[in-house]
Amino acid sequence: MSNQKLEEKKIGSAPKPSIGSELNEPKIERRSFISWITFAWITFAAALGGLLTMPLRLFFPNVLFEPPQSFKIGVPSDYEIDVVDLRWQDKFGTWIIRNTEGIYALSTVCTHLGCAPSWLENENKFKCPCHGSGFRKTGIHFEGPAPRPLERYRIVLGDDGQILVDKSRRYQQEKGQWSDPESFLKI
Amino acid sequence: MSNKKNIFELIQESQIWKSVFRSGIPKTRRQKMMTVLNSVFLHLHPVRLPRHAVKLKFTWCMGGLTFFLFLVLTISGILLMFYYRPTAEYAYNDIIDMAEQVPLGIMREIHRWGAHAMVITTWLHMFRVFMTGSYKPPREFNWGVGVILLVLTLLLSFTGYLLPWDQLAIWAITVGGNMARATPFLGSEGPGAALLALGDINFVHMGADARFGLIGGRFVGEGALLRFYVLHCIGLPFIVMILMAVHFWRVRKDGGISGPT
């Protein structure tokens, strides 16, 4: 037995299986074995974690069968002054209101808890059936638990002269966003 | 004559009977213990109980009642699934039909009232466990399991609430679902949602946040109905059943029902 072999015996390496195989055997020392196994476990845990997280993506489809977020609603002359127009209420959740200065698009979602208020022509207000919030024609809240006015959507004139409403851009009065030129279509 | 065996003895000595009931009629203490240990259903339960554990005054039987109601809801729920179709077109009418046109249509009422009752008994069970101090070591882990089971019971109640697909259901889920918007980081209106953005592009918005994952759309629609149906009938009961097994097992392993000290 050479000195090297004796040294290996002392630190407790695995017993030699047979003569002649020692040349081809990769040598993994005790200490490096620990770091190798740590590395292996971390890799395994990361792969498993990734694999188990992937199904979450399933809950977010690439195509939605909902009405589009932006849509054209005709030309300004289609809308009468001082009338709350309900024709896009059910499909797009939007009220179109024209006053003497221009047109704005109000969200039909109550700012309290997200129910759908309805327009009461006789009482000249939007009234939410869930908890009784009331809003003026402008969208400003004045009764019930709603903490802030209804939101307005982006409304601009397209190249073809039609009005374009974009629900992905919202303007909140309490943040001073109603002064944004795209929150109100001047006519 | 004395050699003749009666019919019961013949059955009990048959191979079929012996293959099912390994330990015979439990007469001795050992046989009684073996009967419990050999059954997959009974073995979750302790072999022997302290006398106080069966006192109605001590437990109110609330945990047992909750489990009983869970079984009632499972059976009546499976029966309802034979008629109910979770689509916007059929859901509401199927429930009306179930009450009016199907024999034993009372199943739907049993399911609904049983659900209300289960929420109440779960709370009362928790109250009892708190008042008797049964959450203290060594039972603190089981208290944690119980809290998760309470949340799951409430979620089962919540998901089932949408299925009648009437105005009450839709708006209740609209309001409830809006809470998910305020989830930290993952809700479009929650704190920290704006941090997950690259320049002008928000990763967490109305079309991709916790609420969207829950109701499968920007508003409560057909996607929400199907998701809630699957969660109500398969997803949540699956988790509840696993945790219930752990819960019952731990009652036994933590030293049985706590006693008066």
Reading the block at residue B176, the tokens are: 């409830």
pLDDT at A22: 55
Candidates B87, B173, B175, partner chain A, best to mutate (most A CBs within 10 A): B175
Q: Which residue intervals of chain B are DSSP H helices? A: 7-13, 15-20, 29-37, 56-59, 62-81, 91-100, 107-131, 140-162, 167-178, 210-215, 222-230, 236-253
Reading the block at residue B228, the tokens are: 């809630």
Could you tell me which residues come within 8 angstroms of residue A183 by beta carbon, excluding any fewer than 6 positions away?
A104, A152, A153, A154, A155, A171, A177
pLDDT in tens, A39-67: 999 999 999 999 998 888 899 988 888 88
Reading the block at residue A107, the tokens are: 């969200």
pLDDT at A24: 63
- Domain made up of A70-186: CATH architecture: 3-layer Sandwich (2.102)
Are the beta carbons of A114 and B218 separated by less than 8 Å?
no
Report the residue of chain B nearest A115, measured CA to CA.
B171
Question: Which of these ranges, A5-14, A64-73, A110-119, B177-186, has the smallest mean pLDDT?
Answer: A5-14
A58 close to B (CB below 8 A):
no
* Residues of chain A positioned with their CB less than 8 A from the CB of B219: 66, 93
Are the beta carbons of A64 and B219 separated by less than 8 Å?
no
Candidates B167, B209, B219, B230, partner chain A, best to mutate (most A CBs within 10 A): B219
A11 close to B (CB below 8 A):
no
CB-based contact B88:B225 (threshold 8 Å): yes
d(CA B244, CA B241): 5
Q: What is the β-pairing status of strands A152-157 and A163-171?
A: antiparallel
Domain definitions of chain A by residue range: 3-59, 70-186
Are the beta carbons of A66 and B217 separated by less than 8 Å?
yes
Tokens 């969207």, residue located: B212
Split at pLDDT 50, 70, 90, the class of A31 is confident
Could you tell me which residues come within 8 angstroms of residue A178 by beta carbon, excluding any fewer than 6 positions away?
A152, A171, A172, A184
Are the beta carbons of B178 and A60 separated by less than 8 Å?
no
Domain B54-253 in CATH: superfamily?
A: Cytochrome Bc1 Complex; Chain C (1.20.810.10)
A67 close to B (CB below 8 A):
no
**b (16+ CB within 10 A) / e for B11-33:** eeeeeeeeeeeebeeeeeeeeee
* Cα distances (angstroms) measured from residue B214 to each of A17, A168, B90, B149, B155: 59, 20, 22, 20, 12
Domain definitions of chain B by residue range: 54-253
**b (16+ CB within 10 A) / e for A148-160:** ebbbbbbbeeeee
Low-confidence ranges of chain B (pLDDT < 50): 1
Split at pLDDT 50, 70, 90, the class of A1 is very low
d(CA A165, CA A105): 7
- Rounded to two decimals, the pTM is 0.83
* Residues of chain A positioned with their CB less than 8 A from the CB of B207: 64
Would you call B205 helix, strand, or coil by DSSP? strand
Split at pLDDT 50, 70, 90, the class of A143 is very high
How far is CA A87 from its chain centroid?
Answer: 27
d(CA A117, CA A137): 12
Candidates A63, A66, A131, A167, partner chain B, best to mutate (most B CBs within 10 A): A66
Long-range contacts at B239-245 (CB < 8 A, ≥ 24 apart) = B239/B152, B240/B70, B240/B149, B240/B152, B240/B153, B240/B156, B243/B145, B243/B148, B243/B149, B243/B152, B244/B67, B244/B70, B244/B149, B245/B44
Q: Measured between CA atoms, how close is B215 to chain A, in angstroms?
A: 9
pLDDT at A86 over 90: yes
Q: In degrees to the nearest 10, what's the CA dihedral of B132, B135, B139, B140? A: -170
Before B184, cis peptide (omega within 30)? no
Split at pLDDT 50, 70, 90, the class of A11 is low
ipTM over 0.95: no
Candidates B87, B168, B174, partner chain A, best to mutate (most A CBs within 10 A): B174
Which of B168, B159, B174, B125 has its CA nearest to residue B227? B159
Would you call A70 helix, strand, or coil by DSSP? strand
Radius of gyration of chain A (CA): 34
Q: In degrees to the nearest 10, what's the CA dihedral of A100, A105, A107, A112? A: -40
Pick A60's closest partner by Cβ from B212, B219, B221: B212
Q: Measured between CA atoms, how close is B98 to chain A, in angstroms?
A: 28
pLDDT in tens, B35-46: 888 888 888 888
Question: Which of these ranges, A14-18, A80-84, B176-180, has the smallest mean pLDDT?
Answer: A14-18
Element (DSSP H or E) covering residue A157: strand A152-157
Which of B144, B159, B74, B57 has its CA nearest to residue B110? B74
d(CA A81, CA B210): 40
A130 close to B (CB below 8 A):
yes
The length of chain A, given as a count of residues: 187
pLDDT at A174: 93
